[in-house]
Structure 1
Amino acid sequence: MKFFLYSIFSLFLITCSSKTEKSDNDYFYRITEELTPISRDSVEIIKIKNREFEKLKKNREKKYALSYEYVNLFLYQDNDIKQIPFVYRLLNKNNDEYPFISMTSNFGLALKFENTSPKLAMQFIDAAIKYDEKMEERYYIGHLYHAKGRFYYNKKDYRPALNYFGKALKSFKQDEVLYIASMHNNFGLTYDKMNNIRKAISETETGIRILENKKKLRDNESDFLYSMKGILGYYYFKNKNYKESEKLLLQEFEYHKDKDEDDTERESVNSARKLSDLYSVTDQNDQRKKIIEYLLTIEPGIKKTYNKIVANEVIQKYYTDHQDFLKLKNTSEKLVTLNHVFDDENRKSIQEITNVLYNRQIKNINDRHDYEMNAEKSKNFLWIIISVLAFVIFIIILFMLRSRNEKEKIITEKQRQLLENNKKILEQDIKFQEEKIKNLHQNLNLKMETEKMFRENLIKIKKSKNIDAEQVLKDLLLKVNNLMQIDKRNHHETINESSIESSIFLKKLADRFPTLTNKELKLCVYFRMNLSSKEISSLEDSTTGTMRVYKTKIKSKLNLKREDDLVAFLSKL
């Protein structure tokens, strides 16, 4: 399963060809499609890296800075010590802007720390799942669930492992037969650990059928098909069905033996180990000897120390069973040396990874310290700005209040002076009105006396027969002139008094009803005085009917109905 997960991570980027709504994320998908076929060709990868660098120089966009770093994940995919710092740097530069970059980076880190730091690996895989869920189309959620299920499997926490393998199975599309078959194989591995060999066999057979039903298999699908056959053969071996076990294990052994590839040395050694165990139990010594001879042939060319150890352990067990002490001694000494080498390699790898994590942690602490210091400086600076602004605002408000108070004092003083002036004017006006009323009373009394005398003379003329007519007429004319002088004086005073009021009234009326003519405006003054049409006609030297027509026209222009009172309306203006 471990080999398959690493294969998934290598093939993981192959499946990144799906479209997303974000054009920048889609750009990273396209780069992935371009890099996947040449993932082992460092020269071609460097060409793409240089191309992205040229784009960065021209555009200075963050997208190209990220794509330049992203190519390094392919360039150093087999070198953990170099790749891990690049992944961290890519995560920092991305700063969660592109979920695709964050997701693939966290997924890669999860697989890198799977054996050395399982707890850290679980944190990375959880982060990768969250980022994948942010994207609208979850093309990789199945692989992430698969990885998380494997991490639980490694912890021997088999129930959650089954749960996540099941979630992964539901996430894959129907045409993704390799991944679907892989999930059934994982079910089988988990049930085997739970001592349910019947379910383990059933699930593994399901996975094999899925791949065998496909018409044309790719190389990686064929590799996995025969790996599942070897696993199923080992289940039959545990179930003591040796015939079926041998058949399947031989198929796996012959398939990997014929492939001259570095990537298959582990499968070749493991298939040989399982066959050697089978032949040991079934006492097929000749067949077991052939397996040992095969291992002795390939052992010098095996590159990975762990695979060398497995091969020599199989050989050691064979020499032990056959009591070949000399060869057993040599093989045991070689195993001691190989284990020391393997321990040194692991120690060195762990130390290097620890150094990377330590440096990363120190950098995070420094970055956090710098961030907190900058935040504190920004906070202090902000407080200073706020304090200065508050002080300035306080001064402005104080100044405004003071100015407003001064203005209010000035306005109050002006109002007081105005009131005093108005009071003086009003007092003068009152005195003037009192004098005028007094004069009017005097003129009125004089007029009444004159009218009385005029009336008495008329009566006297009527009663007397011998009277000088000319003298009487002169006396009457004199009295009439006196009456006219009195009326003229009263009229002049009244007109002067009312001229201002009439002019204000006429201006209001003309502004509000501009269609009124000057003649109509003049008549409105008479109507406002509640004079009758007959009285107005005598003043205007016109007929009563004409005044009534004018009154009707004026009411129409004033938007009054026939029954509305014109005098009351004009009095309210």
Structure 2
Amino acid sequence: MRFFFLCYVFLFVSSFQKMTINDDDYFYKITEELIPIIHKTDKILIIQRRELDQFKKTGGDKYLISSKYIDMFLHKEDPSKQIEIAYDLLRINRGRYDFISMACNFNLAITLENISPKLAMQFVSAAIKYDEKLEGKYYLGHLYHIKGRIYYNEKAYASAMHNFNKALLSFRNDHQHNNTIYIASMYNNFGLTYSKLNKIKEAHKETERGISILQNKGNLSREEIDFLHIMKGNSGFYLYKLKNYPAAEKLLLEEFEYYKNKESFCSESIVSSQRLFDLYLATHQKEKQNQIIDYLIKTEPKLKNTHSRIVANEVIQEYYVSTNNYTPLKAVSEKLIGLNHSYYDENKRNVKKISDLLNNQIIRNNKEKDDYKAYQQKRKNLLFIIFILIVFGVFGIILYNIKKHNKREKELLKNNGKILEQNNEFQKEKIKNLLQSLNLKIDTEKAFLEYLKKNKKINGDNDSEQILKELFLKVNNLIQIDRRSYDLIIEGNIENKLFLEKLSVLCPTLTNTELKFCTYYRMNLSSKEISSLENTTNGTIRVYKTKIKSKLKLNKEDDLSCFLNNI
């Protein structure tokens, strides 16, 4: 049974063995290594080659996965490529490393945020579960931020605020990283949410808290300075809505001047221009309106983002409407129609491309899942067959051993029977020798008495000496007979003792004399032999035999010796 149990445990462990080595920190360190060089493709490629070399040396899947993971950073601007890489990584990873599963779902959520919010929500929720499983030590705050942002875009402002609060709490509890910019960004998100709820004072208050957090930090990084100006622009916009125009103009101008000559912040500069134009329009500052329009007319052709071009032309269109300048208004309106068509076509193409890609990935995943399930089922069936064969093998071995053991027992019993039979014959032979010795002793004793009688009648010295010599020999014979008899008695004593114990239990009414006679009957001694040993008559012996048979509840025709030998 122990062998059977070990076989079962081995099969169970083999069937459900799963990788438990935790290398999630390894992938996190690679991420931390890549973030500072996010815009330096050549340096990212060096790290990727390093991981591929490790894979070639060791053959470890960890390095293959890490090299594929780095592809995400190489193709950060290509949504289609991001989706393809994320799905490939999930397939290669197969749930082995929670960090990779979390990162892929996180990346898919960001990529699909504006294309398919519902699908993006599924991915970010899955990513949160993985990060929580990892004790939230990686990107939990950022995941709650993305989830809140999806709710915000879907106008579910209460849910958005809830997730922004969870993100803020996560950033504050993370003492291993400098999360100042992320903490400030959550207050900025609170402001945006309050603004959508038309709570402009609360929006301005929360945004100012975010601004003060960054300003109080000191030694700001380029990223922090960039974001600080975004928050100042938002704060200026809220002041504009509160009709505090001087303060609003100051902050909006600061933002505009910071972004207007930076190509990477064209979208921000256009938004800032739009806000300033609205403010100048409300305050009737035509000269400043003209400055903004001149900037937009000059910048618009350089813009690569269609949506930013639409916003810029909408501001220009509004300006021509306010000045009743119909000729350029017509041209701008026609351009806007074309841009809107282009923007619609771009979105349509992007949505179709990504939808096709997602559908293909889903079909591929389903096929791989079906293939994997079929493989797992075949594997389980094979293991079950092996298990059944082992069970039958074990039972076969057990049955064979039982049969072999029974055969050995039978042979042993047979041999023991032969040994007992031989032992009985030997004991009978000893008893015969004992009786012969006793008879010889009796004859010698009688002869000894006869010699003594002769000795009284004889007077001659020579004859007396001869008689004494013969007596000496007879006495010596008696001593030898007694020694042999003693040895025989000692040999049979243990066996007789066991026999008498069993007989006493079987028939407690037997007397000690009757028990002693039973030992004689067991030896197949005749009444004459027993009477000679006990120095009594044959009749007395027969009476004892009748009593013994009666107590043992035997019939007259039953053989007492045979009965006693079977005990």
Query: Which category of TM-score, normalised to the shorter sequence, fits these structures?
Result: 0.7 to 0.9
Question: How far apart, CA to CA, are the structure 2 residues paired with 1:386 and 1:65?
Answer: 35
* Counterpart position of 1:58: 57
Match of 1:216 among 192, 214, 219: 219
* 1:281-327 CA-partner distances (Å, limit 9, x unpaired): 33333333332222122111111011111112222233333333333
| SS at structure 1 position matched to 2:355 | helix
**Once the 2 structures are TM-superposed, how far is the Cα of residue 108 of structure 1 from its aligned partner?**
1.6
**Once the 2 structures are TM-superposed, how far is the Cα of residue 353 of structure 1 from its aligned partner?**
1.2
Structure of greater relative contact order (alpha carbons < 8 Å, 6+ residues apart): 2
* Counterpart position of 1:176: 179
Match of 1:248 among 246, 251, 271: 251
Q: Are 2:157 and 1:158 equivalent residues in the alignment?
A: yes
How do residues 184-263 of structure 1 correspond to structure 2 at under 5 angstroms? Answer: 184-257=187-260, 259-261=261-263, 263=264
* Counterpart position of 2:498: none
Question: How far apart, CA to CA, are the structure 1 residues paired with 2:391 and 2:96?
Answer: 37
Question: How far apart, CA to CA, are the structure 1 residues paired with 2:363 and 2:49?
Answer: 31
* 1:336-369 CA-partner distances (Å, limit 9, x unpaired): 2111111111111111111221111111111112
**Once the 2 structures are TM-superposed, how far is the Cα of residue 171 of structure 1 from its aligned partner?**
2.8
| SS at structure 1 position matched to 2:217 | coil
* Counterpart position of 1:379: 380
Question: How far apart, CA to CA, are the structure 2 residues paired with 1:366 and 1:340?
Answer: 38
**Once the 2 structures are TM-superposed, how far is the Cα of residue 475 of structure 1 from its aligned partner?**
6.4
Compute the TM-score of the two structures, normalised by the length of structure 2: 0.74
* 1:407-440 CA-partner distances (Å, limit 9, x unpaired): 3332232222222222222222223323323333
How do residues 333-482 of structure 1 correspond to structure 2 at under 5 angstroms? Answer: 333-447=334-448, 457=456, 471=459, 477=465, 480-482=468-470
| SS at structure 2 position matched to 1:147 | helix
**Once the 2 structures are TM-superposed, how far is the Cα of residue 387 of structure 1 from its aligned partner?**
4.1
Q: 1:117 to 1:504 in 2, by over 3 A?
A: farther
Question: How far apart, CA to CA, are the structure 1 residues paired with 2:485 and 2:319?
Answer: 143
Q: 1:435 to 1:329 in 2, by over 3 A?
A: same
Q: 1:53 to 1:504 in 2, by over 3 A?
A: farther
Question: How far apart, CA to CA, are the structure 2 residues paired with 1:474 and 1:161?
Answer: 147
Question: How far apart, CA to CA, are the structure 1 residues paired with 2:40 and 2:73?
Answer: 10
**Once the 2 structures are TM-superposed, how far is the Cα of residue 45 of structure 1 from its aligned partner?**
3.3
Letter of the structure 2 residue corresponding to residue 320 of structure 1: V
* Counterpart position of 1:484: 472
Letter of the structure 2 residue corresponding to residue 105 of structure 1: C
Question: How far apart, CA to CA, are the structure 2 residues paired with 1:317 and 1:448?
Answer: 166
* Counterpart position of 1:533: none
Q: 1:163 to 1:443 in 2, by over 3 A?
A: farther
**Once the 2 structures are TM-superposed, how far is the Cα of residue 111 of structure 1 from its aligned partner?**
0.6
Question: How far apart, CA to CA, are the structure 2 residues paired with 1:439 and 1:504?
Answer: 21
Question: How far apart, CA to CA, are the structure 2 residues paired with 1:391 and 1:136?
Answer: 47
* Counterpart position of 1:89: 88
Q: Percent identity, aligned pairs only?
A: 43
Question: How far apart, CA to CA, are the structure 1 residues paired with 2:259 and 2:431?
Answer: 130
* Counterpart position of 1:320: 321
**Once the 2 structures are TM-superposed, how far is the Cα of residue 25 of structure 1 from its aligned partner?**
4.7
Q: 1:371 to 1:452 in 2, by over 3 A?
A: farther
* 1:112-160 CA-partner distances (Å, limit 9, x unpaired): 1111222322232233333334446814322222222222322333333
**Once the 2 structures are TM-superposed, how far is the Cα of residue 500 of structure 1 from its aligned partner?**
8.0
Q: 1:394 to 1:214 in 2, by over 3 A?
A: closer
Question: How far apart, CA to CA, are the structure 2 residues paired with 1:76 and 1:421?
Answer: 98
Bigger shift: residues 210-219 or 125-134: 125-134
Q: 1:433 to 1:218 in 2, by over 3 A?
A: same
* Counterpart position of 1:562: none
Bigger shift: residues 69-78 or 325-334: 325-334
Q: 1:406 to 1:40 in 2, by over 3 A?
A: same
Question: How far apart, CA to CA, are the structure 2 residues paired with 1:472 and 1:119?
Answer: 148
Letter of the structure 2 residue corresponding to residue 491 of structure 1: I
* Counterpart position of 1:494: 482
Q: 1:381 to 1:213 in 2, by over 3 A?
A: closer
Question: How far apart, CA to CA, are the structure 1 residues paired with 2:391 and 2:23?
Answer: 45
Letter of the structure 2 residue corresponding to residue 496 of structure 1: R
| SS at structure 2 position matched to 1:213 | helix
Question: How far apart, CA to CA, are the structure 1 residues paired with 2:62 and 2:400?
Answer: 53
Letter of the structure 2 residue corresponding to residue 63 of structure 1: K
Report the aligned-residue RMSD: 3.1
**Once the 2 structures are TM-superposed, how far is the Cα of residue 488 of structure 1 from its aligned partner?**
1.0
Question: How far apart, CA to CA, are the structure 2 residues paired with 1:159 and 1:241?
Answer: 28
**Once the 2 structures are TM-superposed, how far is the Cα of residue 207 of structure 1 from its aligned partner?**
0.8
Bigger shift: residues 181-190 or 135-144: 135-144
| SS at structure 1 position matched to 2:39 | coil
* Counterpart position of 1:530: none
Letter of the structure 2 residue corresponding to residue 201 of structure 1: H
Question: How far apart, CA to CA, are the structure 2 residues paired with 1:24 and 1:387?
Answer: 38
**Once the 2 structures are TM-superposed, how far is the Cα of residue 502 of structure 1 from its aligned partner?**
8.6
**Once the 2 structures are TM-superposed, how far is the Cα of residue 479 of structure 1 from its aligned partner?**
5.3
Letter of the structure 2 residue corresponding to residue 490 of structure 1: L
How do residues 81-120 of structure 1 correspond to structure 2 at under 5 angstroms? Answer: 81-120=80-119
Letter of the structure 2 residue corresponding to residue 337 of structure 1: G
* 1:515-537 CA-partner distances (Å, limit 9, x unpaired): xxxxxxxxxxxxxxxxxxxxxxx
**Once the 2 structures are TM-superposed, how far is the Cα of residue 254 of structure 1 from its aligned partner?**
2.0
Q: Which ranges in structure 2 are unaligned for 5 or more consecutive residues? A: 1-20, 494-567
* 1:255-293 CA-partner distances (Å, limit 9, x unpaired): 212x332x2111111111112222333333333333222
Whether the aligned pair in 1 keeps the contact of 2:109 and 2:124 (CA below 8 Å) is: yes
| SS at structure 1 position matched to 2:114 | coil
| SS at structure 2 position matched to 1:471 | coil
Letter of the structure 2 residue corresponding to residue 305 of structure 1: T
Q: 1:453 to 1:188 in 2, by over 3 A?
A: farther
Whether the aligned pair in 1 keeps the contact of 2:22 and 2:97 (CA below 8 Å) is: no
Compute the TM-score of the two structures, normalised by the length of structure 1: 0.74
Letter of the structure 1 residue corresponding to residue 281 of structure 2: S
Question: How far apart, CA to CA, are the structure 2 residues paired with 1:500 and 1:120?
Answer: 104
Q: Which ranges in structure 1 are unaligned for 5 or more consecutive residues? A: 1-21, 461-469, 506-573
Q: 1:153 to 1:504 in 2, by over 3 A?
A: farther
**Once the 2 structures are TM-superposed, how far is the Cα of residue 72 of structure 1 from its aligned partner?**
1.4
**Once the 2 structures are TM-superposed, how far is the Cα of residue 75 of structure 1 from its aligned partner?**
1.2
Number of corresponding residues: 469
Question: How far apart, CA to CA, are the structure 2 residues paired with 1:339 and 1:452?
Answer: 162
Whether the aligned pair in 1 keeps the contact of 2:82 and 2:111 (CA below 8 Å) is: no
**Once the 2 structures are TM-superposed, how far is the Cα of residue 54 of structure 1 from its aligned partner?**
3.6
How do residues 509-528 of structure 1 correspond to structure 2 at under 5 angstroms? Answer: none
Whether the aligned pair in 1 keeps the contact of 2:427 and 2:492 (CA below 8 Å) is: no
Question: How far apart, CA to CA, are the structure 2 residues paired with 1:208 and 1:391?
Answer: 76
Whether the aligned pair in 1 keeps the contact of 2:438 and 2:481 (CA below 8 Å) is: no
* Counterpart position of 2:535: none
